[in-house]
Amino acid sequence: MSRPKVVVARNLGPDVMPLFNRSDLDVVAWHSETEACGRKWLLENIVGASGVLVMLADKVAGPKLRIVSTMSVGYEHVDLQQLTDRGVRLGYTPDVLTDAVADLSIMLALMAGRNSRETMSVWPSYPWSPFAFCGPQLSANWLHPTRTAGFIGFGRIAQATLARLVPFGFTHCLYTGNPASAPTPERDATLARTLGVESVRRVALAELARESDVVFVLAPGAPSLRHVVDAAFLRGMKKTAVLVNTARGTLVDSDALALALREGWLWGAGIDVVEGEPHVGADHPLVKEPRCVVLPHIGSATTETRLGMATMAAKNLISGVLGDTMPAELSITR
């Protein structure tokens, strides 16, 4: 029996690629770590392949394909219906990036309140004054002894972010969930008790906007959630609140956010994702807003986490193609 062919659409570096040095697989790997393989190379090489390892931007199909392994926690680049119809199994990389994204969410919440874009560029000519560069304080303080965090989407990353906020004096947590799912008041009460906050409550979007001192967008990039943060939501926020999006750009209406920042509906924003990325120019309305920190989708970009994701994606591919249990396989239920 011939060895199954697998295609690896990116060089995953010297720590991960040796995993593919095995005699039971026929491995075709793209040579470069920094450059994408391109659609043409991928379509040429996918012919006859049983499995493929792809990045978030790659779209692929092949008649013999049985395993797709994506180096990402999101899978909106994958046509799940087609996978189900063809019996293709999907490996992905959940969990391993939770902490890196939660770290970045905290960083952006702080940067959005502390006027980072302005303050990072003021030396050499800085006239100190008592209220220069002052923005709202993230942590609890003498004027605001309670703090409320709002989460649009309340999965693992959101809960890891909430845990980090507790010693900042956060006392209340609001979140929105899939309306079709049953409420979980007992889980919420347990979580509140475990973390040491006064309450964790699922609420409607309008209440979340109205009550939160910081709103974290941490939902999956599903079509039904497109622009869940729209003009109406932003108008409902506190003028001193900040918005953080470390999930998917499509969840936030960019034009509405730019207008909201310009008109002071909220204080500031920190976003790691932008609708339409990577086609984000210097003239993008959010890149131009001084109160908006825009990062280039680096939520999971720490050495340790990306190494973990690449390793997991490689193991998913190898295990899947050889018919073994994948370390992380998506169970497709639709």
Q: How far from 69 is each of 7, 88, 108, CA to CA, in Å? A: 10, 10, 30
Strands 172-176 and 148-152 turn out to be: parallel
Amino acid identity of residue 193, one-letter, is R
Cα 166 to chain center, whole Å? 21
Rounded to an integer, what distance in angstroms lies between the CA atom of residue 66 and that of residue 82? 12
- The two tokens of residue 158 are 């959101």
Which residues between 285 and 314 bind a copy of itself (CB under 8 A)? 287, 293-298, 301-310
> Do residues 295 and 111 make contact, with C-beta atoms less than 8 angstroms apart?
no
Q: Which residues, in sequence order, are bridge partners of residue 69?
A: 53, 91
174 is a site residue for a copy of itself (CB under 8 A): no
Which residues between 261 and 290 bind a copy of itself (CB under 8 A)? 274, 277-282, 284, 287
Which residues between 231 and 250 bind a copy of itself (CB under 8 A)? 240
Q: Which is nearer to a copy of itself, 19 or 332 (CB)?
A: 19
Give the one residue of 67, 102, 217, 314 binding a copy of itself; rule: CB under 8 A. Answer: 102
Q: Which is nearer to a copy of itself, 171 or 302 (CB)?
A: 302
> Do residues 258 and 294 make contact, with C-beta atoms less than 8 angstroms apart?
no
Minimum distance from residue 205 beta carbon to a copy of itself (Å): 27
Q: Which is nearer to a copy of itself, 114 or 202 (CB)?
A: 114
167 is a site residue for a copy of itself (CB under 8 A): yes
Query: Residues 19-58 vs a copy of itself: string with x where CB under 8 A?
Result: --------------xxxx------------------xxx-
Helices 156-165 and 98-113: crossing angle, nearest 10°?
A: 50
Q: Which is nearer to a copy of itself, 43 or 57 (CB)?
A: 57
Q: Which is nearer to a copy of itself, 120 or 204 (CB)?
A: 120
> Do residues 19 and 29 make contact, with C-beta atoms less than 8 angstroms apart?
no
172 is catalytic: no
> Do residues 244 and 269 make contact, with C-beta atoms less than 8 angstroms apart?
yes
206 is a site residue for a copy of itself (CB under 8 A): no
- Residue range at the interface with a copy of itself (CB under 8 A); choices 131-139, 179-187, 207-215, 216-224: 131-139
Report the catalytic residues: 297
